[in-house]
Structure 1
Amino acid sequence: MFSKIALSVAVASVMAFNVASAETVRIGITQNNVGVDSYQTTYEKAFIEAANADENVEVVVLDAGGDVARQIGQMQDLIQQRVDAIIIWPTNGQAVIPAVRQAKSAGIPVIVTNSKIADAGMEFIAAFSGPDNIRQGAYSAEMMCDALDNKGQIVQVAGQPGYTTAIERAKGFEDRLAEACPEVKILETQPGDWNREKAQRTMENFLTKYDRIDGVYAGDDNMGVGALNAAKAAKRDGIIFIGATNFAVGYEAMERGEYYGSVYQSPVDDARAALQTALDVLDGKDVPKLNYFDTPKITRDTLSQFDKPVF
């Protein structure tokens, strides 16, 4: 039976993992906040399922619940357990650096998943596995330029402050927007904290403050649909909505013609890539320091080319 603290599981054969030694390897994972959104919930389920067929792999599964102090404590606990490798989804890319450095000093390779550690911590990790968030933000900017015909004024609903993914997606978007369509101006940026209800309240404030909003960029579709719901309730038509990770609700909004586009990112691919990267590191393979997986653009016009997200 699965335990949040530890479980012995096998690695799915479809992932074709190759661990050179027949000895059991123990991999610990400390996640950001499984309960905050459906992406992270799906990631956890996929991670456990992906580790489902190799009796030589033992996994210690932990969740920080969005608490930096708790995650640091979990890192220290995994170090004390002498696991063979640690996977961390950072709650804060800067604050976890000392714990990651401690793991490296203990001879335990650390794989960062989904959201990067701050640059100062890169020397202490074995690899990063996840999406290129800068590129995702740039893709969203390009879609915004196309949708607005290179001119207009928009607002941005960003992710959680201090969270590396939020910072990088905002930077990728802002830098590419300024380069590709400088006549599209960002009126204001406020956080939505990856939460649909918070994003809806943020958008309500934007709608009260600004008589004209041509477009909304959200750090993911969960927040994007929250912003969309606020605009619909206020009967503010004609606003373009673009996200940076496609959720099922965003996909459905595209089907209805209410949402312009997003970036297609699978939590299943994300989870499998993290586990594969950890096993490759332990197997002594030459693993890129930045191990990205593909996250293409998805718009109303290309919707049929993509399966509806499961989260």
Structure 2
Amino acid sequence: MNSARRFLISSLMFLLLVPITNGCSEGPGSEPQQSQSDAATGKLFGVSFQTLNNPFFVDLGEGLKKELEANGDRLVILDAQFNSLKQKNDLSDLILQGVAGIFVNPVNWEGLKGSLLEAQRKNVPIIIVDAPVKKSDEELIVCTVASDNVRAGKLAAQALAKVNPKAKLVMLHLSV
């Protein structure tokens, strides 16, 4: 793994963990219920990715798991397989397991409100990863952590231009 990618993943892990490890509770009694075995082995967290066919998300999941386990916590990594219904069901399952927090890389950024409301009712903090949620749903999450793909593309093009100043570069704009 190159140093720039390692730095990006490490930075994302730090940004993802700070809000949770600094305490996301609203006050006494707002923490999710945990079983005695969970309490003895640390907190349980969950992450739901759009897909685990993308090496970026695999690396992100592994980095998150490593950081959490270093603190004595555990992580359940779920693959929504680009299926928003599966992701909603996975999020409900995580909430029922009494997780201390959930990281979500949304399949459908407009279709998360029900899951976000369910998490809020159970005092489970949600951190959105590498994709937005609807503006009206932002109050239901702790934060969003995302890369600046435009800037990353610009930096990559500049690096390529330095390697071979005579190379011809093409910029593709896709609206998805």
The match for 1:104 is: none
The match for 1:237 is: 122
The match for 1:265 is: 147
Shift of the alpha carbon at 1:177? 1.8
Q: Deviations over 1:47-87 (max 9, x none)?
A: xxxxxxxxxxxxxxxxxxxxxxxxxxxxxxxxxxxxxxxxx
Higher-Rg structure is 1
More strand by share: 1
The match for 1:281 is: 163
Computed over aligned residues only, the root mean square deviation of the Cα atoms, in angstroms, reads: 3.7
State the SS of the aligned residue for 1:147.
Answer: coil
Indicate how the Cα distance of structure 1 residues 261 and 235 shifts in structure 2: closer, same or farther if over 3 A, else same.
Answer: closer
Pairwise mapping of residues 23-42 of structure 1 onto structure 2 (< 5 A)? none
Q: TM-score, normalised by structure 2?
A: 0.63
Question: Match of 1:185, as an amino acid?
Answer: R
Q: Deviations over 1:156-176 (max 9, x none)?
A: 213422421111111221122
The match for 1:22 is: none
Pairwise mapping of residues 62-211 of structure 1 onto structure 2 (< 5 A)? 132-148=8-24, 152-179=43-70, 181-182=71-72, 184-186=73-75, 188-193=76-81, 196-207=84-95, 210=97
Q: Residues of 2 paired with 1:213 and 1:133: CA distance?
A: 23
Which structure ranks higher in relative contact order (CA pairs < 8 Å, sequence separation ≥ 6)? 2
Question: Match of 2:21, as an amino acid?
Answer: C
| Matching residue within 74, 79, 100 for 1:214 | 100
Shift of the alpha carbon at 1:215? 1.1
Contact 1:136 1:263 in 2 (8 A): yes
Question: Match of 1:191, as an amino acid?
Answer: D
Contact 2:15 2:145 in 1 (8 A): yes
Q: Residues of 2 paired with 1:232 and 1:194: CA distance?
A: 21
Contact 1:224 1:241 in 2 (8 A): no
Indicate how the Cα distance of structure 1 residues 276 and 235 shifts in structure 2: closer, same or farther if over 3 A, else same.
Answer: closer
State the SS of the aligned residue for 1:243.
Answer: strand
Residue correspondences, number: 151
Contact 1:221 1:243 in 2 (8 A): yes
More helix by share: 2
Shift of the alpha carbon at 1:245? 2.1
Question: Match of 1:202, as an amino acid?
Answer: D
Indicate how the Cα distance of structure 1 residues 245 and 176 shifts in structure 2: closer, same or farther if over 3 A, else same.
Answer: same
Indicate how the Cα distance of structure 1 residues 225 and 241 shifts in structure 2: closer, same or farther if over 3 A, else same.
Answer: farther
Q: Among all aligned residue pairs of Structure 1 and Structure 2, give the percentage whose two residues are the same amino acid.
A: 10
Contact 1:217 1:224 in 2 (8 A): no
Shift of the alpha carbon at 1:204? 2.9
Q: TM-score, normalised by structure 1?
A: 0.39
Note the residue ranges of structure 2 that are not aligned, 5 or more in a row. 26-41, 167-175
